[in-house]
Amino acid sequence: MKHLITTSDFGSDEIEALFEDTRMFNDLQSNTYLSGKLVVTLFFENSTRTRSSFEIAAKRLGAEVVSLDVGTSSRSKGETIFDTVANLNAMKPDAIIIRHSECGLPGSLTDKVDCPIINAGDGTNAHPTQALLDLFTIVEHFDGDTQGKKIAIVGDVKTSRVAASNVKLLPRFGIEPIIVAPEHFKFNHNDFKQVNSLSEVIDEVDVVMSLRTQLERHSEVYYASLQEYAKDYCITQEVFGDRDILLLHPGPVNRNVDISDEMLEDKRNKILEQVTNGVAVRMAILKKLIK
Ligand code: ASP
């Protein structure tokens, strides 16, 4: 049985086939590919987009969805997560979609269940469906010609699971990540070019991905206020100029901290296109994994 824990679970050919289905699902909304199937979502961390995107994806495929409310579940009565998942598995769902703050937790469940596990984000580790929808958005924008393209990933790269998944996935399709961050948000290895400011690389990149500062994952306070961070890292019209660059963000966006109001209105910003593609990519993933 196949699971989706990190993007390396899918080979490049599989991703290309997945994107064929994604294109089909972007045109074909509701269908019956998964009618009679049951999908469980189990979110131990907050989510707006990812959870609703998965639920809409499953429903558009004709599946039933049960979303466990972890606040009122037996977890609050002291049950371990492994026992919660074993009990859910005994009810024979066709897939379990899980988000948790602990790195590696979704991967540790795969040998305890009889259905695919889909990682909807584990701590700072991985967010494979987000990276796949980001890649899809880039592929479509450049008509499949991604070789040699460069992407600036801006902000809290070190604690972002979105960045962690993208820097592994995008180079497989010829896209070079360049990290733009203050020292405390950079990777502590030099596998990628890392610079301090977007203006240093703005003339060489094709895509800019802005990230939210992951305050909930920091053990230290780096900024008295996010306005301090925004002075150097907010994506503005001034830094973009009239360059032909695609602007992405996984959401939620902190307005005028991550991206200025003006750039959120700009045609080069494809954030809502990412959200639309997210449903179609997740439909393709559910179709692929659920037998
Ligand atoms: N929604 C993304 C995530 O779950 C990005 C973020 O929260 O900043 O990682």
Predicted pLDDT at 72: 66
pLDDT tens digit sequence for 3-31 = 999 999 999 999 999 999 999 999 988 99
Mean pLDDT, range 134-153, rounded to an integer: 98
In a domain, 2, yes or no: no
Q: Indicate if 181 and 240 belong to the same structural domain.
A: yes
The residue among 139, 94, 100, 151 whose CA lies nearest residue 280 is 139
In a domain, 102, yes or no: yes
DSSP 19-65: HHHHHHHHH--S--TTTT-EEEEEESS--SHHHHHHHHHHHHTT-EE
In a domain, 208, yes or no: yes
Q: Indicate if 16 and 109 belong to the same structural domain.
A: yes
Q: Indicate if 20 and 110 belong to the same structural domain.
A: yes
Output the CA 97–ligand 1 centroid distance in Å. 16
Predicted pLDDT at 114: 98
Q: Indicate if 251 and 186 belong to the same structural domain.
A: yes
Mean pLDDT, range 134-155, rounded to an integer: 98
Q: Give the number of residues written for the chain.
A: 291
In a domain, 56, yes or no: yes
- Under the banding of pLDDT at 50, 70 and 90, the label for residue 70 is confident
- Under the banding of pLDDT at 50, 70 and 90, the label for residue 175 is very high
| Nearest atom (ligand 1) to Cα of 161 | 9
Give the angle subtended at the CA of 9 by the CAs of 94 and 100, to the nearest 5°: 65
> How many domains, the chain?
2
- Rounded CA separation 193/186 (Å): 10
- Rounded CA separation 133/228 (Å): 31
Output the CA 214–ligand 1 centroid distance in Å. 8
CATH code, domain carrying 31: 3.40.50.1370
Q: Residues 284, 15: contact at Cβ < 8 Å?
A: no
Q: Indicate if 223 and 147 belong to the same structural domain.
A: yes
Q: Indicate if 209 and 83 belong to the same structural domain.
A: no
In a domain, 1, yes or no: no
Mean pLDDT over all residues of the chain?
Answer: 96
Output the CA 36–ligand 1 centroid distance in Å. 31
Q: Which residues line ligand 1 (CB under 6 A)?
A: 121, 127, 161-162, 212, 250-251
The residue among 136, 47, 273, 233 whose CA lies nearest residue 68 is 47
> Which is it for the CA torsion 176, 173, 253, 159, positive or negative?
negative
In a domain, 76, yes or no: yes
Predicted pLDDT at 234: 98
Q: Indicate if 206 and 90 belong to the same structural domain.
A: no
pLDDT tens digit sequence for 188-214 = 999 999 999 999 999 999 999 999 999
Q: Indicate if 65 and 145 belong to the same structural domain.
A: no
Q: Indicate if 145 and 255 belong to the same structural domain.
A: yes
Residue nearest to atom 8 of ligand 1 (CA): 212
Encoded tokens for 59: 């429903």
| Nearest atom (ligand 1) to Cα of 212 | 8
- Rounded CA separation 121/179 (Å): 21
Output the CA 252–ligand 1 centroid distance in Å. 7
Q: Indicate if 221 and 238 belong to the same structural domain.
A: yes
Residues of the chain with pLDDT > 90, as a percent, come to 94
Q: String of b and e for 225-264 (b: at least 16 CB within 10 Å)?
A: ebeebbeebbbbeebbeeeebbbbbbbebbebbbbbeebb
Predicted pLDDT at 195: 98
In a domain, 57, yes or no: yes
- Rounded CA separation 166/236 (Å): 23
Q: Indicate if 75 and 63 belong to the same structural domain.
A: yes
Q: Indicate if 259 and 142 belong to the same structural domain.
A: yes
- Under the banding of pLDDT at 50, 70 and 90, the label for residue 69 is confident
Mean pLDDT, range 132-140, rounded to an integer: 98
In a domain, 157, yes or no: yes
Q: Residues 222, 159: contact at Cβ < 8 Å?
A: no
Predicted pLDDT at 283: 98
Mean pLDDT, range 227-232, rounded to an integer: 96
- What is the extent of the structural domain holding 202? 130-269
Q: Residues 257, 28: contact at Cβ < 8 Å?
A: no
